[in-house]
Amino acid sequence: MATDQQAKWAEYYRKLHSASPNPWLDLSNEAVQAQTFAVAIEAAGAIGERRCLDIGCGYGQLSTCLHGLRASEVVGVDIVAETIASCRERFPEIRWECGSTSDEAFIQSLGDFDIIFLVEVLQYVAWESTLLGLWERVRPGGRIVAVVPNKGNSIVQNTMSRFGGTYLPPDPTELDTLVASLPGVECWAQRGMGFQQDQRLVPYVGYPWVQTGAMQDPANRLVFAIKKRNEPRPPA
């Protein structure tokens, strides 16, 4: 299932790349992309001297932001080889790799990270196994940060129907259950992001951070961060 799902999306984004799309790819517009990156960086905390992994890096805008914030190293990963080749040409100071989150050997080859970003990625993959696998690559004291559509939102449900079983985001309660199964969690929280009626300044309004699946309404997007306890790993 996961391999077939990701193969379909790889082809979809390969076509988008060939068509020279807008640089924000599947997001609504440049303002939505900018605010999405901002809330992810806020949830990540300090970036300086941290090793960062940007899964689903696309054209590399978030990766270059992390580099500018003085991350010790940034690794950008995408499933479209043409997009990665373009990033390598334009931003040689960053490490770019083409691969899939379902490829365990590939993910292990990237090493361990202080912060792993998954911005607009989890709806395109088997999100539970993806988070479980990437959690193993988070260093003690590090964290995973993600932005993902909310399955409980009516607009998102329409998108799920349109893509016929290949667009599969979680809802807040499912995230609760998944995080409860992760070893070594120090803390975690999530917040909703809903579209404002007046979007002239910013498109989203951010809801308060919560530690359960209960939210004031079915937000369009979910932002969450999971922090790992700062303790040594057991020997292999």
Task: Give 81-120 pLDDT, tens digit per residue.
Answer: 999 999 999 999 999 999 999 999 999 999 999 999 999 9
236 lies in some domain: no
Predicted TM-score (pTM) of this structure: 0.94
223 lies in some domain: yes
Q: Inter-axis angle of helices 30-44 and 61-68, to 10 degrees?
A: 40
- Strand ranges inside 63-177, DSSP E: 73-78, 95-98, 113-119, 138-149
- According to DSSP, the β-strands at 138-149 and 113-119 are parallel
137 lies in some domain: yes
Rounded-to-integer distance, Cα 179 and Cα 125, Å: 17
Looking at residue 21, what is its pLDDT? 64
166 lies in some domain: yes
233 lies in some domain: no
CATH number at residue 150: 3.40.50.150
Contact 74, 87 (CB under 8 A): no
Domain count, the chain: 1
Task: Give 190-229 pLDDT, tens digit per residue.
Answer: 999 999 999 999 999 999 999 876 676 789 999 999 999 9
170 lies in some domain: yes
235 lies in some domain: no
Q: Which residues contact 7 (CB under 8 A, 6 or more apart)?
A: none
Residue 191 is part of which domain span? 2-228
234 lies in some domain: no
Is pLDDT of 235 > 70? Answer: no
